[in-house]
Amino acid sequence: MHFQAAVLREVNRPLTIETLEMAPLAPTDVLVRVRASGLCHTDLEVIQGSLPYPMPIVLGHEGAGVVEAVGDSVTTVVPGDHVILSWNPNCGHCFYCVRDQPILCEPFTRHQPRGHLLDGRSRMSKDGMTVHHYSVTSTHAEFTVVPESGAIPIPKAMPFDRACIIGCGVMTGVGAVVRKAKVPAGASVVVMGCGAVGLNAIQGARMAGAGRIIAVDRGSAKLARAEQFGATDTVDATAGDPVAAIRALTGGRGADYVFEAAGHADVFRLAVEAVRPGGEVVWLGKVNADREVSFRWGSLMGERRIVRSSYGDARPSRDFPWLAGEYLAGRLMLDELITRRIRLADINDGFATLARGEGIRTVIEFD
- Domain extent for 196: 182-308
Q: What is the pLDDT of residue 56?
A: 98
Q: Is residue 297 part of a domain?
A: yes
Tens digits of per-residue pLDDT, 324-364?
999 999 999 999 999 999 999 999 999 999 999 888 999 99
Lowest mean pLDDT among 63-67, 134-138, 292-296, 304-308: 292-296
Q: What is the mean pLDDT of residues 48-54?
A: 93
The verdict on residue 11 lying in a domain is yes
| Shared-domain flag, residues 135 and 21 | yes
Residues 42 and 73 in one domain: yes
Q: Are residues 222 and 291 in the same domain?
A: yes
Q: Can you give the CATH number for the domain in which 246 is found?
A: 3.40.50.720
Residue 173 lies in a domain: no
Shared domain for 27 and 101, answered yes or no, is yes
* Residues in CB range of 146: below 8 A, 6 or more apart: 29, 30, 32, 85, 86, 89, 117, 136, 137
Is residue 344 in some structural domain? yes
Tell me: pLDDT of 279 over 90: yes
Residues 139 and 257 in one domain: no
pLDDT tens digits, one per residue of 201-210: 999 999 999 9
Residue 6 shares a structural domain with residue 50: yes
Same-domain status, 56 and 86: yes
Angstrom distance (rounded) from CA 56 to CA 35: 23
- The whole-number pLDDT of residue 94 equals 97
Final residue before a domain boundary, out of 308, 340, 355:
308
Whether residue 299 is found in the same domain as residue 317: no
CATH of the domain at 355: 3.90.180.10
Q: Identify whether 175 is part of a domain.
A: no
Residue bearing the bigger pLDDT, 171 or 298: 171
Q: Which of 286, 308, 330 is the last residue of a domain?
A: 308
Residue where a domain terminates, one of 259, 288, 308: 308
Of 293, 297, 259, 263, give the one whose Cα is nearest residue 275: 259
Q: What is the pLDDT of residue 351?
A: 97
Question: Is 286 a residue whose pLDDT tops 90?
Answer: no
Asked if residue 196 is part of any domain, the answer here is yes
Pair (21, 163) in one structural domain:
yes
Residues 16 and 99 in one domain: yes
Of 367 and 40, the one with more pLDDT = 40
The number of folded domains in the chain is 2
Based on the fold, state whether residues 187 and 161 are members of the same structural domain. no
- Asked whether residue 318 falls in the same domain as residue 202, the answer is no
Please write the tens of the pLDDT for every residue from 73-129: 999 999 999 999 999 999 999 999 999 999 999 999 999 999 999 999 999 999 999
Q: Is residue 320 part of a domain?
A: yes
292 confidence band (pLDDT: 50, 70, 90): confident
pLDDT at residue 287 is higher than 90: no
Does residue 174 lie within any of the structural domains?
no
User: What predicted TM-score, i.e. pTM, was given to this entire model?
Assistant: 0.94
Exposed / middle / buried, residue 82 (Cβ in 10 Å: 0-12, 13-18, 19+):
buried
For residue 290, how many other CB atoms are within 10 A of its CB? 5
Q: How confident is the model at residue 169 (pLDDT cuts 50, 70, 90)?
A: very high
* pLDDT the model gives residue 219: 86
More confident residue, 22 or 289: 22
Cis peptide preceding 56, ω within 30 of 0:
yes
